[in-house]
Structure 1
Amino acid sequence: MDGNGRWATKHGLPRAVGHRNGVEAVRRTVRAAIELGIPYLTLYSFSSENWSRPMDEIDDLMGLMKRFIRRDLAELHQAGVKIRVIGERTQVDPELMALIDEAVELTTSNTAITLIIAFNYGARGEIAKAARALAEQVAAGTLKTSEINVDTLGAALDTAGIPDPDLLVRTSGEKRISNFLLWQCAYTEFVFLDAFWPDFGRELLEEAIAIYRARERRFGGRSKQSVM
């Protein structure tokens, strides 16, 4: 979800206004995903590298996350949204972490859609953490080195139990994935849109899905027509 700051600059507004409009785009996109029958939606809300931003901007982003949970949790729960959060808990305000845990626990049995929030997340750190976990099991004698494979490493990632993404959409014209789901995106189709995130919603989501559906997915072998 990229381009909040540039959207604000384009409109002659403070960056904080861009982030607030970005939250509105989140609301539109979640509603659209439910209506379109998308079973999993992952949003990259705050990366582990974002801590290098100015502190006032970080404080604003954390405040927005708190307000989003407090304002939207009941509605998301009623709509059948299951919330899951991936990323590190370190450095996160305890009050915000408690709100996140409450949201996850409340919605754990919902089935309409799984909304995965990548918060304080970085894919390299995730893979390193999974490798450490497997190494600790080997050291403890509960896992053999010969048993370490694609499946065991995948099961040690934050996304264990979640299907790999079919489609990755990045807004604002940036054409890179910026340390996002590096392991999981091995065969993901990428769509890069010029629109800034605050302008995103159902129309642009459907546009990205249409591009995805028109592609042939090969998975290293024979081509397969994309389906949703």
Structure 2
Amino acid sequence: MIFKKKTKSYDLDMNNIPQHIAFIMDGNGRWAKKRKMPRTFGHHEGTKTIRSLALEANRLGVKAMTVYAFSTENFKRDQKEVDYIFRLPKEFFSLYLKELIENNVRIQLIGHLERAPKETQDIINAAIEKTKDNTGLSLVFAFIYGGRDEIVQATKAIAQEYKDGLISMDDIDENLFENHLMTAGLPPVDLMIRTSGECRLSNYLLWQLSYSEFIFVDTLWPDFNEEELHKCIYYYQNRERRFGGVLK
């Protein structure tokens, strides 16, 4: 669903807040280009949006917010841009970690952190450790992440368990498979939002999004704010979620 028109009212039903919202944060480069600035400036401004949306999602009672920070395919970008993105966690957590901790936000990560520079690994791991006991919003960074890769890795792990005699063929079902995904322990994704007008998944949470509501907005990520979030949740709340069945 492409959401373009302004809704008259964003009065939200606090008893129907999506438990897990996933974002594809698109448009940083275009936002910067419109201002005759380098793409890296767009990524810098985009971190401010992560902070503001995480705090607002936490206030609303959202349990998890996953953001697509760096895909397994993003290594194809210019090396200077890749290097800058790997420096962003240091900037982000130095500015906002204290505030996130004060608001009971927990930092988590899915993906292949081991492929990042050592300094980046240390910074992210420190944030995860410092917030591990927080019980509010789980702010999950999909970092060096790919949906196909995640499914392949889960399949390999299950195959190894079967080979080792730890499980039988009959044990393999959707629940077991989900428990081998990187998102194990997180609520199902209720709502996926992609900014900047692009309408594709880009190898993001391919298993987890099977019954999510999709909203594609024209707003570029650095301009996506709390009001835009409310508008998307309002739209979500006015959908009939049937999960393959028929509402009576």
* TM-score relative to the length of structure 2: 0.88
Hey, what does 1:163 align to over in structure 2?
A: 187
Unaligned runs of 5+ in 1: none
* 2:197 and 2:217 in contact (8 A); partners too: yes
Which runs of 4 or more aligned residues in structure 1 lie more than 6 Å from their structure 2 counterparts after TM superposition? none
| Identity, % of aligned positions | 43
How far off is 1:91 after superposition? 2.0
Counting helix residues as a fraction of each chain, which structure ranks higher?
1
Q: Which moved more, 1:171-180 or 1:59-68?
A: 59-68
* 2:55 and 2:100 in contact (8 A); partners too: no
Q: Provide closer, same or farther for how the CA distance between residues 50 and 223 of structure 1 changes in structure 2, counting only shifts above 3 A.
A: farther
1:116 is the counterpart of 2:144 = no
1:193 to 210, 217, 229: 217
SS at match of 2:107: strand
How far off is 1:70 after superposition? 2.5
Hey, what does 2:110 align to over in structure 1?
A: 86
Distance 1:213 1:27 in 2: 24
- Report how many residues are paired: 224
State the AA in 2 paired with 1:152. L
Give a deviation string over 1:155-189, Cα, whole Å, max 9, x none. Answer: 00000011111100000000011111110111000
1:9 is the counterpart of 2:26 = no
Distance 1:10 1:211 in 2: 29
State the AA in 2 paired with 1:137. E
Q: Which has the higher contact order (CA 8 A, sep 6+)?
A: 2
1:46 is the counterpart of 2:63 = no
Hey, what does 1:204 align to over in structure 2?
A: 228
Hey, what does 2:4 align to over in structure 1?
A: none
Unaligned runs of 5+ in 2: 1-24
RMSD over equivalenced CA pairs, Å: 1.2
SS at match of 1:109: coil
Hey, what does 2:8 align to over in structure 1?
A: none
2:128 to 85, 99, 104: 104
Hey, what does 2:207 align to over in structure 1?
A: 183
Distance 1:69 1:189 in 2: 30
Q: Which moved more, 1:83-92 or 1:197-206?
A: 83-92
